[in-house]
């Protein structure tokens, strides 16, 4: 008897995975949020040829490998298909990079999340977003060699995500105050996450640990209680920022400019070179973004400004072809 073929309802899907700000000053490797744009796009469709194939990559300046075993989005998708016992499934993937590498905007996390989310969607969503987290993590880890969910988790789920344990992937979404905005400015230099991690101390003085824990607790309470004063008093990083600031031209000048323009707080986005400020309201965020940008323009250093509310959606479908 011939097997009954059930037509696939989704023929092709295009997904968007947003940029993210990791660490959020005092939450090194344990706190991150998503912004509205930029973000990467991945398209997947069924294929008669067995296995996952990356057919097209744009926006990468020829830097990314098409071998799925070596590509962040490919590794995440393969890990997921392996888990389901579906490595033979014929799938074509296109990757459209819309943000720079080594930018501190969670570029590799976005590709990884987009890759696994798109394939999950194409095959009928056997797993929830949260269940996709370990596969997206594997994709990102293949790029920077480290295991931290502070870009991947907010990119996948949206909002502000706190990670109690990266090993156990024990995460919690934190409520977002209504009027919280971010100004993120990317100066056109590249910092490899690996390098920015290597310059951090392995041991930190107890006094610094105490201060950082106080600030992280304060920031979480401030977000939950919509207490902008507490948020502002808590956005300080005494561990990574003092070491990494030297990789970013005029970092402290940009920080002073942001705070004078009314930012609640300012620090490095992820491993840098992007910097971010949290602000109360859109108008304030635009003013702060312009003030930071002026510092980079004076260097002179080309840059891009991204002003955004905290993105509540994370990765999502932007276009789809359905079997009629």
Catalytically active residues are 140, 193
> Considering the rule CB under 6 A, would residue 197 count as an interface residue with ligand HSE?
yes
> Considering the rule CB under 6 A, would residue 79 count as an interface residue with ligand HSE?
no
For 195, the enclosing helix (H) or strand (E) is helix 193-198
> Considering the rule CB under 6 A, would residue 237 count as an interface residue with ligand HSE?
no
> Considering the rule CB under 6 A, would residue 19 count as an interface residue with ligand HSE?
no
User: Coil, strand or helix: which one is 289?
Assistant: helix
DSSP secondary structure string, 118-148?
Answer: HHHHHTT--S-TGGGHHHHHHHHHHHHS---
> Considering the rule CB under 6 A, would residue 142 count as an interface residue with ligand HSE?
no
Residue with Cβ nearer ligand HSE (254 or 271): 271
Task: Give the CA angle between residues 302, 304, 310 to the nearest 5°.
Answer: 155
Say if CB 104 and CB 71 are below 8 A apart.
Answer: no
Say if CB 219 and CB 234 are below 8 A apart.
Answer: yes
Residue with Cβ nearer ligand HSE (159 or 270): 270
In eight-state DSSP terms, residue 28 is T
Instruction: Evaluate the omega torsion of the peptide bond into residue 251 and state whether it is cis, within 30 degrees of 0.
Output: no
> Considering the rule CB under 6 A, would residue 23 count as an interface residue with ligand HSE?
yes
> Considering the rule CB under 6 A, would residue 216 count as an interface residue with ligand HSE?
no
Q: How far is the CB of 5 from ligand HSE (least distance, A)?
A: 43
> Considering the rule CB under 6 A, would residue 151 count as an interface residue with ligand HSE?
yes
Q: What is the largest CA-CA distance in the chain?
A: 75
> Considering the rule CB under 6 A, would residue 102 count as an interface residue with ligand HSE?
no
> Considering the rule CB under 6 A, would residue 35 count as an interface residue with ligand HSE?
no
Residue with Cβ nearer ligand HSE (15 or 149): 149
Q: Which residues ranging from 261 to 320 are in contact with ligand HSE (CB under 6 A)? A: 270-271
The structure tokens listed for 275 are 């910097």
Report CA-CA distances (Å) from 243 to 31, 134, 186: 19, 30, 19
Q: Among 54-62, 129-137, 191-199, 309-317, which window interacts with ligand HSE (CB under 6 A)? A: 191-199
Interacting residue ranges for ligand HSE, rule: CB under 6 A: 22-23, 28-29, 106, 148, 150-151, 193, 196-197, 240, 270-271
């Amino acid at each position: 008897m011939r097997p009954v073929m059930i037509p696939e309802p989704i023929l092709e899907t295009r997904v968007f995975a947003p940029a993210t700000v990791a660490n959020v000053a005092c939450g090194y490797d344990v706190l991150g949020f998503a912004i509205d744009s930029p973000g990467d796009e991945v398209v997947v469709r069924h294929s008669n040829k067995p296995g996952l194939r990356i057919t097209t990559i744009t926006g990468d300046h020829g830097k990314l490998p098409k071998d799925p075993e070596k590509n962040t989005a490919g590794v995440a998708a393969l890990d997921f298909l392996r888990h389901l016992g579906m490595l033979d499934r014929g799938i074509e993937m296109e990757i459209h990079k819309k943000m720079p590498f080594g930018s501190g905007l969670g570029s590799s996390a976005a590709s990884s999340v987009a890759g696994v989310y798109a394939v999950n969607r194409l095959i009928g969503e056997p797993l929830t977003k949260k269940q996709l987290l370990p596969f997206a993590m594997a994709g990102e880890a293949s790029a920077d060699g480290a295991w931290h969910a502070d870009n991947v988790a907010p990119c996948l789920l949206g909002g502000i995500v706190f990670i109690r344990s990266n090993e156990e992937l024990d995460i919690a979404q934190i409520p977002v105050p209504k009027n919280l905005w971010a100004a993120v400015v990317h100066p056109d230099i590249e910092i490899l996450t690996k390098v920015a991690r290597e310059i951090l101390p392995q041991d930190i003085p107890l006094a610094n640990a105490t201060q950082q824990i106080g600030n992280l607790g304060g920031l979480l309470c401030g977000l939950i209680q919509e207490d902008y004063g507490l948020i502002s008093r808590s956005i300080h990083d005494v561990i990574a920022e003092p070491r990494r600031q030297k990789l970013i031209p005029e970092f402290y000048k940009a920080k002073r400019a942001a705070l004078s323009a009314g930012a609640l707080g300012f620090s490095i986005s992820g491993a840098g070179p992007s910097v971010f400020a949290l602000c109360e309201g859109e108008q304030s965020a635009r003013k702060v973004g312009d003030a930071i940008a002026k510092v980079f323009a004076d260097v002179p250093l080309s840059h891009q400004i991204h002003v955004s509310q905290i993105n509540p959606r994370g990765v999502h479908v932007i276009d789809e072809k359905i079997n009629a």
